Amino acid sequence: DAGVTQSPTHLIKTRGQHVTLRCSPISGHKSVSWYQQVLGQGPQFIFQYYEKEERGRGNFPDRFSARQFPNYSSELNVNALLLGDSALYLCASSLQVSSYNEQFFGPGTRLTVL
């Protein structure tokens, strides 16, 4: 069974640009979460989606948005990129949204903003 997949692997953008990151969950998983991991820190929660609805949002500005598609894949969009948005963006999937099931992480997308 394929794990969580993310694309692209690496991305370089300049300040002010827009970026879209993609995630495909494990087959059968209906919940997708997005995390930002800045160098030297742990992952920080951005969004969680379940059945195409936003079920949770972390402390991130409105420049960050996301959506989930009928096949449960998800996109994370970031507008007006800032240097501080440079980070590893992790996607995690789980069976349900509010259960004790552990979240399974993808390898991440490394975003560099110049």
Partner 1 sequence: DQQVKQNSPSLSVQEGRISILNCDYTNSMFDYFLWYKKYPAEGPTFLISISSIKDKNEDGRFTVFLNKSAKHLSLHIVPSQPGDSAVYFCAASNTGISSGSARQLTFGSGTQLTVLP
Nearer to partner 1, 14 or 98 (CB): 98
- Count CB atoms within 10 A of the CB of residue 101: 13
> Is position 2 an interface residue for partner 1 (rule: CB under 8 A)?
no
Spatial distance between the Cα atoms of 100 and 104, rounded to a whole number of angstroms: 12
**Binding residues for partner 1, how many (CB under 8 A)?**
27
Residue whose pair of structure tokens reads 């993310």 in the numeric block: 6
Q: Please name every residue paired with 32 in a beta bridge, in sequence order, or none if there are none.
A: 49, 93
> Is position 43 an interface residue for partner 1 (rule: CB under 8 A)?
yes
Exactly one of 77, 79, 98, 112 binds partner 1 (CB under 8 A); that residue is 98
By the 8 A CB rule, do 55 and 49 touch? yes
Spatial distance between the Cα atoms of 78 and 62, rounded to a whole number of angstroms: 9
Residue whose pair of structure tokens reads 């800032």 in the numeric block: 82
Q: How far is the CB of 39 from partner 1 (least distance, A)?
A: 11
Query: Which residue stretch of 13-21, 68-76, 78-86, 95-103 sits at the interface with partner 1 (rule: CB under 8 A)?
Result: 95-103
Question: Which residues bind to partner 1, rule: CB under 8 A?
Answer: 4, 33, 35, 40-45, 48, 50, 55-56, 58, 90, 92, 97-100, 102-108
